[in-house]
Amino acid sequence: MKRIRIWVKNLTLMEQFVTLSFFVVVFFLLFFFTFIPRNIDSYINNQMYDYIHTVQDDYINRLRHSISIQDDEDSNVSHYLYSKDTGHYISSIEGTRTSVILSQIDPYQNSEIYDGTLNYGDTDVIYTIRQIAIDDSEYSVVSIVKDDYRSAMRSALVNSTVNITMIIVLIIYTFLSIWVFSLIRPLNMIKNYIEKLRRGDKADLKLYRHDEIGEVGEAVKDMNEELSRQSKIREEMIQNISHDLKTPIATIKSYSESIKDGIYPYDTLEKSVDVIIDNADRLEKKVYSLITFNKMGYLEDDTSVGDNVNMVEVIKEAIMAASVLRGDIKIETELEDVYFHGDRESWLIVIENLLDNALRYAKTIVKITLSEVEFTIYNDGELMDKERIESLFKPYEMGNKGKFGLGLSIVKRVTETYGYKAVGENMNDGVIFRIIKPKVKRKKKETKRTEPSEG
């Protein structure tokens, strides 16, 4: 059975359709040559008995109202009158075949009407015996259906059944063929569309369908549009990254060469070296952001590790590093003693990126809150438009004041890796980002927490 399933899966839709058609044809042939003949014979026999009874009633009725016995006008049934008093047939018997058949039929039956069948050669002889009384004499009427009539009726019935069945099968097969081809054609269009995209050729897909295939086609088109957009953004991002990396590298190189020649570009040796260190830090931060973004894509969360990251310490460390960026912005905090699950360095990067983003857009204030339910960071900057909200966490997407295009993408990757959820939304007078803790608690591992020492 498994081999059959594998074989079917390796067939194309057209091959599956042809195979199915073959088995349907074989089934109907077996049906015609086995089931139908037996049932038709049974049906014909029943119809023959009903027909004999009708004709025989008319024959007996004429016998009872006539002085002489007249031959039956119906040529499809032969009637023979047997006298029980004399023990002989009164009606004339034509032919040796009829004599042999009548000799095998017992005219004496216990029932008033007896339906019987006997084999004569290659055919079945159908007959009915009726017990009657006429003028105080007992008779048996033996009525036999003629072979040619039964054969003609059987042939007509078989032909009608076969013709009707074939017409029905042909109609079903036609509609099934149209339906299958209506599936194969759009699937081939989707396949050709994908092949053209793979080769880099210009392609368009028009299906005009609203079923599942149409949905797949639209999904493929949407995917292509999204990939094209991402590719364009990625190209622009690579150019921006190259430029961002090129600037500190050029500064470090030029300052180093100047110092080597005994020239101090920034007044003194110490200040010039500080410029080199600052640019090296910038370069290191950008490279580390790229490494972190890619690393989190392959990182698997170890759920056996409990909530072991002291987020209060992480937030304070991030604020201390970022507060010098914009001294005109007030940073307010409302922090509970909460621990998050994951790696401390990764969460530090998340908080630094969110805080850097908030400071970049804030007008006067940034508010940070931490509770058992969520972490939030609010700024009173301009509200985001709908398109910006939808693409907040996509890689290489930069806002109006964005610098690197990976900050929020790193936030999303870290939070999802550890089972948290990151969202950004507009408030009445600003923008807020939330990191929501999962509702289902992980199985925690006992972790020793040490309070920071005084002083």
CATH of residue 351's domain is 3.30.565.10
Identify the helix (H) or strand (E) that includes residue 118: strand 113-120
Q: What is the pLDDT of residue 404?
A: 52
Residue 265 CB-half CA count within 13 A:
16
Residue 382 sits in the same domain as residue 395: yes
Residue 309 sits in the same domain as residue 283: no
**CA angle, 252 then 253 then 255, to 5°:** 65
Residue 38 sits in the same domain as residue 186: yes
pLDDT in tens, the chain (455 residues): 677 777 766 777 677 777 877 887 778 777 766 766 667 777 878 888 888 898 888 888 888 876 454 544 567 888 888 988 888 888 777 777 888 888 888 888 888 899 888 888 777 788 999 998 888 888 899 988 877 777 777 778 777 877 887 888 788 878 888 888 888 888 888 889 889 888 888 888 888 888 888 888 889 888 888 888 777 767 766 766 676 677 678 888 888 988 888 888 877 888 888 888 888 887 877 777 667 666 655 555 555 556 689 999 999 988 887 766 677 889 999 999 999 988 888 898 889 889 988 988 899 999 999 999 999 999 998 898 887 787 777 765 655 555 555 678 888 888 888 889 999 999 989 999 999 988 755 444 444 444 433 33
Nearest to 120 by CA among 153, 139, 96: 96
Please indicate, yes or no, if residue 44 is contained in any of the structural domains. yes
Nearest to 422 by CA among 326, 362, 357, 364: 357
Residue 121 sits in the same domain as residue 263: no
Task: For residue 364, give Cα distances in angstroms to 322, 327, 331, 378, 429.
Answer: 15, 10, 9, 11, 12
Please indicate, yes or no, if residue 45 is contained in any of the structural domains. yes
Residue 146 CB-half CA count within 13 A:
10
DSSP state of 136: T
Please indicate, yes or no, if residue 343 is contained in any of the structural domains. yes
Please indicate, yes or no, if residue 452 is contained in any of the structural domains. no
| Cα–Cα distance measured from residue 224 to residue 195, given in angstroms and rounded to the nearest whole number | 12
Identify the helix (H) or strand (E) that includes residue 357: helix 344-361
Decide which of 264, 296, 328 is a domain's last residue: 296
For residue 156, give both structure tokens: 């007509």
Please indicate, yes or no, if residue 416 is contained in any of the structural domains. yes
Bridge partners of residue 82, in order along the sequence: 89, 140
DSSP state of 115: E
Residue 132 sits in the same domain as residue 275: no
For residue 187, give both structure tokens: 């699937």
Instruction: Tell the burial category of 165 from Cβ atoms under 10 Å away from its Cβ (0-12, 13-18, 19+).
Output: middle
Please indicate, yes or no, if residue 455 is contained in any of the structural domains. no
DSSP state of 440: S
Please indicate, yes or no, if residue 207 is contained in any of the structural domains. no
Q: At what angle do helices 212-260 and 269-298 cross, to 10 degrees?
A: 160
Residue 342 sits in the same domain as residue 270: no
Residue 283 sits in the same domain as residue 388: no
pTM: 0.43
| Cα–Cα distance measured from residue 2 to residue 4, given in angstroms and rounded to the nearest whole number | 5
Q: What is the pLDDT of residue 447?
A: 40
Number of domains comprising the chain: 3
Residue 188 sits in the same domain as residue 227: no
| Cα–Cα distance measured from residue 94 to residue 373, given in angstroms and rounded to the nearest whole number | 108
Residue 178 sits in the same domain as residue 217: no
DSSP state of 203: -
CA dihedral 352→353→358→359, nearest 10 degrees, is 60
Q: What is the pLDDT of residue 398?
A: 58
DSSP state of 72: -
Residue 156 sits in the same domain as residue 30: yes
Q: What is the pLDDT of residue 86?
A: 87
Please indicate, yes or no, if residue 450 is contained in any of the structural domains. no
Identify the helix (H) or strand (E) that includes residue 196: helix 147-199
Residue 248 sits in the same domain as residue 226: yes
For residue 386, give both structure tokens: 């709908």
**Domain of residue 220, residue span:** 212-296
Diameter over CA atoms, the chain: 155
Q: What is the pLDDT of residue 135?
A: 80
Decide which of 247, 273, 296 is a domain's last residue: 296
Nearest to 413 by CA among 402, 422, 404, 405: 422
Residue 26 sits in the same domain as residue 128: yes
| Cα–Cα distance measured from residue 437 to residue 371, given in angstroms and rounded to the nearest whole number | 10
CATH of residue 261's domain is 1.10.287.130
